[in-house]
Structure 1
Amino acid sequence: MNAILRQPATLDRLAIGLSGLCLMHCLATAVLVATLASAGGLLGSEIIHEGGLAVAMLLGTVALGRGIREHGYMMPSAVGGLGLGVMGGALTLPHDGTELVATMVGVGILALGHRLNDMARD
């Protein structure tokens, strides 16, 4: 497992997968909030959002930072950093749907940064 995580492309692909899971979480939460208030409350709790952002920031910092060292291009890291910033800013928004939309936009931008990072290696 350690050897797999040391491969730079693996970290970016893992981060893209995590972005996809985050997007699925956001969509599932919206559906569950609309249909089941109690289950939606569990998935919509602050600790899940803050914990997910912390994991995304850690993985993004490692994968995108490693990309700068390897291929020298700053653009993937800048795009990924913008996505993380949008995700962080979403935590400050009211829970009226704007937080959900901002989070999904941020996740998409972050996934794009990881994809650019992966493409820059080729």
Structure 2
Amino acid sequence: MALRAIQTGKLDRLAIGLSGLCLVHCLATTVAFALLASAGSVLGANWIHEVGLAIAMVMGAVSLGKGILEHGYAMPSAVGGLGLGVMAGALTLPHDGSEAMATVIGVAILALGHRLNFIASE
């Protein structure tokens, strides 16, 4: 299987990078909402958030799950799972800034989980 050939550290670095992109997206969307209502409605579409969360969940399951198998520590996966849960919960919040704030917090927690996984894999 191709995933076995990919080192956990590389998956974690990729996931941290994607978390950063998510953070930039959330902040850019907030600014876009403030500046251009029409651009904000495109960037803030629900399907973008749902697809982004699905990608984060797949990356988290693969990378953090692979980490547990390699180093045996469940804490990075638990931290990452908490971050994914916060991100999922953010989808239920209104688009008044609280959704973006909760998503940013969830992304930061998820990135911490990937960082812990990366450290444990070294």
Normalising by structure 1, we get a TM-score of 0.96
Give 3-state SS (helix, strand or coil) of 2:17's partner: helix
* Match of residue 73 from structure 1: 73
CA spacing shift, 1:5–1:30, aligned 2, 3 Å: farther
* Match of residue 22 from structure 2: 22
* Match of residue 36 from structure 2: 36
Query: Which deviations, in whole Å up to 9, do the C-alpha atoms of 1:19-62 show, x marking residues without a partner?
Result: 00000000000111000000011000001000000000000000
* Match of residue 84 from structure 1: 84
* Match of residue 10 from structure 2: 10
Offset of residue 8 of structure 1: 1.3
Give 3-state SS (helix, strand or coil) of 1:96's partner: coil
Give 3-state SS (helix, strand or coil) of 2:116's partner: helix
* Match of residue 111 from structure 1: 111
Offset of residue 69 of structure 1: 0.3
CA spacing shift, 1:47–1:116, aligned 2, 3 Å: same
Alpha-carbon distance between aligned partners in 2 of 1:8 and 1:120, rounded to the nearest angstrom? 10
Structure 2: segments with no counterpart, 5+ residues: none
Contact 1:53-1:87 within 8 A present in 2 as well: yes
Alpha-carbon distance between aligned partners in 1 of 2:46 and 2:95, rounded to the nearest angstrom? 11
Alpha-carbon distance between aligned partners in 1 of 2:8 and 2:115, rounded to the nearest angstrom? 12
Contact 1:5-1:11 within 8 A present in 2 as well: no
Alpha-carbon distance between aligned partners in 2 of 1:3 and 1:103, rounded to the nearest angstrom? 28
Normalising by structure 2, we get a TM-score of 0.96
**Paired positions, count:** 121
Alpha-carbon distance between aligned partners in 1 of 2:33 and 2:5, rounded to the nearest angstrom? 35
Alpha-carbon distance between aligned partners in 2 of 1:20 and 1:5, rounded to the nearest angstrom? 25
Give 3-state SS (helix, strand or coil) of 2:95's partner: coil
* Match of residue 64 from structure 1: 64
- The ranges of structure 1 where at least 4 consecutive aligned residues each deviate by more than 6 angstroms after the TM superposition are none
